[in-house]
Structure 1
Amino acid sequence: MTMNLVSFYSNSSLLSGAIHYPKLEQNKQYPAIVLVHGFVGSKVGEHRLFVKAARYFSEKGFIVFRFDFRGCGESEGDYSDVTLTNQIHELQSTLDYIEEIPEVNKEQITVIGHSLGGAVASLTASIDNRVKQLLLWSPVANPFQDITRITGLLAVKKAAKEGVYDYQGFYISEQFFQDLKRHEPLLSVASYKQPVLIAHAEMDEDVPKGNAQLYFDSLKNRQTKTDVFYIAKADHTFSSYSFEHQLFEKSSNWLEEVLQKNEVQLLKQPF
């Protein structure tokens, strides 16, 4: 397995990314996974969650792409530039980049979003048919309520008064908070027609575990595969090797099952 560091543009902003490759065979294409980080996060993740996830999935035969949103990690900009709307556009720019990798099978692109990244992933999947599978890890379901539960409502008031709020070294803008109110991922994701897996930390201290059921309820009336599971005793970032292993293993097994089913269906189609 190998990893390449890359840079790519979303509008005029240069974003930082990393591609993890499985052992490649000549003239073969591979399913791809895009990892989407959350609020004030980065492509590394708490306790290197996304690095570990990328290595795990690449060993299973996936090309894995992790990246930093604008104002995060090693990407250009400041967090004061961040809005949920902008992050949707940036995820779509990431999909543009992924599609140009010769070894990627464009019909097998999966997006995995954690926390606020789960909301971004859901909103993007509902408008972009390139997302063939969607996995949500402890996802934000009600952006304004869920994020202000973390920052506190005082942050909203100070941002409204001063333009920005200093949250642990990140400037959060008034526009960021107002933009959160514009988006309803639970309503948007209901129109998504592809398979969805929702995984939530049972002891999540940041994002309510009830969000998993909210997403499931939004999706359950579709004919497409929708599943939910919980990691017992896990916190929001799945911060133990045991929690990580359960999360990665169950996500990988689910993905392999979905992809195998899709291959069988393709073989059954008349030519």
Structure 2
Amino acid sequence: MKQQTVSILSNELCLSGVLHLPLNSVEQKVPLIVILHGFLGSKVGEHRMFVKAARFFTKRGFSVFRFDFSGCGESDGDYSNVAVTKQLKEVQTVLNYLSSIKEVDAENIILIGHSLGGAVASITAAQDRRIRKLILWSPVGKPYEDITKIMGAETVELARVNGKVDYNGFYVSHLFLEDLKNHHPLEAICSYKDEAFIIHAKEDEDVPTEHTYSYFDALRQRGCKKEVDKHFVEQADHTFSSYALEEELFNKSFEWLDKFSNNSEKIAL
């Protein structure tokens, strides 16, 4: 397994990322997984979940890229300037860069989005035909309603009055919240044409589990014969915060992806 840090320029800001490559990528192009973190998140993830996920999938033959949106983690910018509209453009910049890497199969790109990253992943998949598989982990379905519920009405009102609010050590702007109203992933997902898998934490304290049913129903009603599946991880909180819960999350995601492998040796333990 190889791991290398990557810096990608997007709208004059450097996005910090890490590319994980399996050893067999020297001999052949391999499928690429891109992980999108959520609200106030980073490419590391809570309890290093995205680091562990990247290494899990790389050991099984995938290349994996995890990165910080601007204003997050080690990327340039401040969270006070974050907006989902901007994040969608940053994902496009990232995908354009990754598609040029010789070890990556640009015709086999998989998006994994967690929480608000799930909403960004859904909208991206609906617009970008390079996305061949979509996996959503406890995805936000109604961005404005979900995020403002997490923050609380008093905090949201402070952001409106002052232009921004200090929330858990991040400046969240009123413009960020208003921009959320422009994005409707449950509607956008109907334009996605390939396979999808939704996994939700059964005891999710932040994002309603009902969103998984909404995504599932929207995908099933597209009129195309692409596989759609869902799974609930029992006793899991929003970030699947135990080794056992992570193991189920990763294994279920891999088992689903492995069903589409044409070469049992290409994606093997």
State whether TM-score is above 0.5. yes
Q: Equivalent residue for 2:110?
A: 110
Q: Equivalent residue for 1:267?
A: none
CA distance in structure 2 between the partners assigned to 1:170 and 1:189 by the alignment: 30
RMSD: 1.1
Q: Equivalent residue for 2:158?
A: 158
Q: Secondary structure at the match of 1:5?
A: strand
What 5-or-longer segments of structure 2 have no aligned partner?
264-269
Q: Equivalent residue for 1:241?
A: 243
CA distance in structure 1 between the partners assigned to 2:197 and 2:46 by the alignment: 22
Q: Secondary structure at the match of 2:260?
A: helix
What 5-or-longer segments of structure 1 have no aligned partner?
262-271
8 A Cα contact 2:26 2:103, kept in partner: no
8 A Cα contact 2:38 2:116, kept in partner: yes
Q: Equivalent residue for 1:269?
A: none
Q: Equivalent residue for 1:227?
A: 229
Q: Secondary structure at the match of 2:140?
A: coil
Question: Does residue 214 in structure 1 map to residue 214 in structure 2?
Answer: yes
Listed as ranges, the matches of 1:69-88 within 5 Å are 69-88=69-88
* Letter of the structure 1 residue corresponding to residue 36 of structure 2: V
Render the CA deviation track for 1:84-114: whole Å, top value 9, x for unaligned: 1111111111101110110101111000000
CA distance in structure 1 between the partners assigned to 2:164 and 2:19 by the alignment: 33
Render the CA deviation track for 1:202-247: whole Å, top value 9, x for unaligned: 0001111111001001111232110000001001000011111111
Listed as ranges, the matches of 1:22-171 within 5 Å are 22-24=22-24, 26-171=26-171
Q: Equivalent residue for 1:17?
A: 17
Against the structure 1 CA distance between its residues 25 and 134, is the aligned structure 2 distance closer, same or farther, given a 3 Å change threshold? closer
Q: Secondary structure at the match of 2:31?
A: strand
Give TM-score, length-normalised by structure 1: 0.94
* Letter of the structure 2 residue corresponding to residue 110 of structure 1: I
CA distance in structure 2 between the partners assigned to 1:80 and 1:141 by the alignment: 23
* Letter of the structure 1 residue corresponding to residue 245 of structure 2: F
Deviation at residue 23 of structure 1 after TM alignment: 1.1
Q: Equivalent residue for 1:174?
A: 174
Deviation at residue 258 of structure 1 after TM alignment: 2.2
